[in-house]
Structure 1
Amino acid sequence: MMARDGARPAYDPAGPDAALRTALQEVRTGRWMSMRTLLTETASWSQWTQRTQVLAAAAAGTDVVRAWLAEEPDSVPAVVMHARVAVERALRAARGDHRRTQELWHEAWLAADAATRASPHDPVPWVCLLALARLDREQRWDEHRIPAPEPMLPPGPWGLLAQAGKRDPYNREAHHRMLQFLFGRAASGRLAEAVGFAQWAADGAPPGSALHVLPLYVRVERYRRAGGHDAALDLHWVAEDATREARRAFHNWFELSTAPERSPLDLNHLAHALWGALQFAEATRVFDAIGPYYAPLPWVHRTSDPSDHAQAVDVFLQARSRSAAQRP
């Protein structure tokens, strides 16, 4: 890990959550007791959502959750984690165009649906169903073409988003899953619907909510689809609207939230946006908050090869150094 001393950062999916890091280490070795203890002790829905998501990414290539569920079939956390893992596997299969995608999608839907009944006050099963909506590219399912609450937005899985929001208002992951659904609709490159959604969500979010960072994710996606890694595209980040979005996220989220509430991914997107907009004083404050918890996104999109994380680290370090050197 690094401090702000020039050492090269390394990505850690647990971020500053030391208890989650311990559970992840156990999961990777096929043990589930630490995961059970961690989830039993998790107090807030926002932390529950984030921890189950990270744990599922680590557990998806193992049978650890299946072993836990076999041992404790009445465990609600085990049922929820079973849904999480099933969804993660279905999404990975879809990304790889795997022949079992349809089968895994069906299994994941059944697991998530079961979790809604096992844990009725939990937003995560609904987040799981929302994550699967992106696989229904033609919106054949009725629940994926519900009229939007805002006339300018398209039909989609709004009912699933509302169910998650009923249980955890302004749930961060639920809104990111909705954004990914809209990115999938914009396969031709047009992102107007995603832009509208991100602005609508940010405008309706309370002070300190991570939803104020959503427009920055859309801007990164627009940059990525335009080709990225092109000096001519640097104007994308210093445009008036880009600067306004970065500063709004800084003032409405960063300055009004506490460290435990901040996702490293959101912090990295904000630092990236402020640096790109030449807002060096604010960027340096965000880099200080990032500390050792670097995330490859969005830095990989500033490189010639998004699969080369070493290049992404170089861009991150250059941005951090330049911001610190040029702040007033």
Structure 2
Amino acid sequence: MKEEELNRCQIQEWYPRFKSTSIKTVIHELPESFINYLLDDSGPFLLPLSVSDNDALPNRIHNPEDEQDYTITSDNESEQTSPPPPPPPSFPELESQINESIKTLGGAIFPKLNWSSPKDSAWISPNASLKCTSFSEITLLLKSSDSLVHDLCHAYDSCTNCNIKRPARFFLALRKWYPSLHPEMEFRVFVRNHVLVGISQREVTGFYPSLTKKKPVLESLIKDFYSKKVNMKFESESYTFDVYVRTDDEVKLLDFNPWCEFTLPLLFTWEELESELLSREPELRIVEGQCGVRPGLKTAVPYDYLDTSEGSGWDQFLRNADEELRRQTRSAGG
């Protein structure tokens, strides 16, 4: 993979060109002081001091006020005051700008850096998703994410003939939150040498019977979208991109990914995708039954925000889990 191919997949690079076919997004450049804060793990976990009490999280991971009176008593019963904790960081200008952008996007967003979203830290959010309504909530997700270390420190590790580890500038993309999206309607499209060679369902950890009926229509819609909206407009020769197909059959562009091994091939293999056969007969692959589910892939949350709305895959999963718990309780009691 070349450096320029990876750079084209940064959201601040591709979004301005494809904004009319993507979801609403506002992008902010992040100051280096904020990047240093995200990377700093030398001290206690501190969230930024909010400029507004309404935006402050009530249960900070570490509250300096709780430690002001902390003392250590030695054997001779003399009290020694511990060193004062560092003051919480503060980014008032960035916070003000981001909170204003959240309002323009309807009051809720999910965050993304140049390439990645903090999917691995969704569990720490009060709503167990990437939905954020304030700067404090965004910062909590970013600071808690291990996966974002890739963007921050190792983005170019897989590039050939490249001596840099990170981009010169970082950006925070605020993407409008849509509460009713369904994970089974997100797909990854593979393009090799400007030719569409395959389409895969992204949520491969579940079987969705409705997709089997929609498969021919979905395949046609996605191929048409690529032909009219993406082909020859994205400068790389080989790449992947993710789309979402709405209930009204409109296709929305979600992201671009480089053509390389750390991009999941999902229901394909990279050997298949790089063969000549698929370029002659591109197909949409979906999970055709329970036996086709791929629990081993790291796609438990394959899309950038976790949909737990009624009827979604996660909603059904939680219902099944509750029913199993009730069954076990009845069995234990009987």
Structure number with higher relative contact order (C-alpha < 8 Å, ≥ 6 residues apart): 2
The alignment's TM-score, normalised by the length of structure 2, stands at 0.28
Q: Which has the larger radius of gyration?
A: 2
The alignment's TM-score, normalised by the length of structure 1, stands at 0.28
Return the structure number with greater helix share: 1
